[in-house]
Structure 1
Amino acid sequence: MVVAADGTCLVIDPAVTAPEVDGLAAAVRHRGWTPVAVWSTHAHWDHTLDGSGLTPLPRWSSGPSATDRETLAAERDADPELARSGEPAAPIAAPAVAYPARSSGVLDWAGPSVRVLSHAAHARPHSALVLPEHGVLVAGDMLSDVEIPLLDLSADDPVGDYLDALALLEAAQADVVVPGHGRVGGRDEIARRLGADRAYLAALVAGAETADDRLALPWTAAAHAEQRAAVGR
């Protein structure tokens, strides 16, 4: 959530389950904020959700996605983590459109300055938002302390794309990172996560074992096995 001085706000990747999305909208109303748009960092189902208070809002992204709503809904319904939560699923929102640009890579809106970093790691397209006045990087599904780098295995060079994106995020020189999954981190933690992600990718390409503690979760271990089969030697 990016909030302007007048209370207008930009909602980013709103929650996962229907109660969470509705609770977010209720919290926005309780604080007296006025949402003007919803930003999707990328078109995976858990970043494209809709719900009470959000449906009338425009949906912005760094570019159009080829994934349709039916496919996203099917992926949502097949997600084992959502099933285990026991919570009802939130609906898939209308497709996002390219954001209004004040200049190249700069969001045109009334709130704080927002720079848009577009890249091809994890999904195509994927974006991160930088608030240069506050030193904040909203990273989407990057720079997580709980998720390994999750590659877009349909890309021609998924590892190269991911490394390019890490360099782009590092160049933002943020003081705080807000990942889509995991905990907020400061400057030292950003450096640690960049190093951990690069070490993971180097081991993946070499076909070497890795001691990355993010592999402790069953689903990240399964994703790693799939990536190693596709990329590793």
Structure 2
Amino acid sequence: MTFRAVAPDVLVRTSRRDVTTSVLAVGPRRATGRRPALLVDPAWDDDELEGMADELVARQVRVAAGLSTHAHHDHLLWHPRFGAVPRWASSRATEVVRSHRDVLDAVVRSEGRQEAVLELFAAVAALADDRVPDPDGELPRSELVVHDAHAPGHVALWLPDARVLVAGDMLSDVEPPLPADEISGDTDLVGYREGLERLAPYVARADVVVPGHGTPTRHAGTRLDADRRYVDALLAGRDPDDPRDAAR
């Protein structure tokens, strides 16, 4: 596995586990020769994180910041070789981390992680607004889309220059909409539907959508419509009859 370009300066690497994607949004080359980047949701196993770090060195990329799209354990991982850089999540997602830290820690420890990875797990700070802080002006332009579908304080990342929407755990070809939060167990179908509509204007502008699990697509509208139909069926008390259910 390796990072593959889905658009100029936007690279995606796919884990062996649950088709989980990690996204690298790369900024312009600096005088040092190394290009700064925002690393989103690096996953999953320790050897994959190590391989990711090796590839960053080979590509002459320096991680300048990290972003977790939401507070599920597979989106809160980090490796020491990525660097001691700011790591961000929405304010509500960081609240979930604080209030459910024991549950999250138990899950990640059950996977037999290296101690260095465990020490950096879920070390995210709260975002103050809809931008990833970039005091040195070295990261690609971006906008954050915050909603409560799939998980409280879920974030999607819009990269307007590349016209890429990093959707987190939504708009997937392998994973159906999951309205029940795996941490709290709360189900909010209406909130999930509202989250889809928050994403809709960005989907309309996107050339590529990258889901947190699954395959990046240039047919984002088709993914959005499939998720709308799925949630609408649940709201109406019907079986969604979606092929993604059979694949899980």
TM-score over 0.5 (shorter chain)? yes
The alpha carbon displacement at 1:120 in A equals 0.7
Distance 1:121 1:24 in 2: 29
User: Matched residues, percent identical?
Assistant: 38
1:162-217 deviations in Å (ceiling 9; x for gaps)? 1111111111121110111000001xx21111111111112112222232100113
Distance 1:30 1:65 in 2: 36
The alpha carbon displacement at 1:25 in A equals 1.3
Alignment pair present for 1:193 and 2:223 = yes
1:49-101 deviations in Å (ceiling 9; x for gaps)? 122413522211122232344321223356xxx7xxxx8575362431123x6
Select the residue among 66, 71, 74 that pairs with 2:106: 74
In structure 2, the residue matched to 1:161 is 191
Distance 1:105 1:28 in 2: 27
Distance 2:246 2:223 in 1: 16
Can you give the 5+ residue segments of structure 2 that lack an aligned partner in the other structure?
1-23, 30-34
In structure 1, the residue matched to 2:124 is 96
The alpha carbon displacement at 1:26 in A equals 1.2
Distance 1:98 1:171 in 2: 25
Alignment pair present for 1:31 and 2:59 = yes
Distance 1:10 1:48 in 2: 14
Alignment pair present for 1:209 and 2:219 = no
The alpha carbon displacement at 1:106 in A equals 2.5
Secondary structure of the residue that 1:178 maps to in structure 2?
strand
In structure 2, the residue matched to 1:228 is none
Distance 1:55 1:49 in 2: 13
In structure 2, the residue matched to 1:3 is 26
In structure 1, the residue matched to 2:207 is 175
TM-score normalised by the chain length of structure 2: 0.76
Larger displacement relative to structure 2 (147-156 or 164-173): 147-156
Distance 2:175 2:102 in 1: 26
Distance 1:108 1:66 in 2: 21
Amino acid at match of 2:26: V
In structure 1, the residue matched to 2:44 is 16
Amino acid at match of 2:233: A
Q: Structure 1 residues 178, 125: closer, same or farther in 2, change over 3 A? A: same
Q: Structure 1 residues 43, 156: closer, same or farther in 2, change over 3 A? A: closer
Distance 1:13 1:119 in 2: 17
Larger displacement relative to structure 2 (60-69 or 169-178): 60-69
User: Paired residues, what number?
Assistant: 206
Select the residue among 127, 147, 151 that pairs with 1:123: 151
Distance 2:186 2:131 in 1: 28
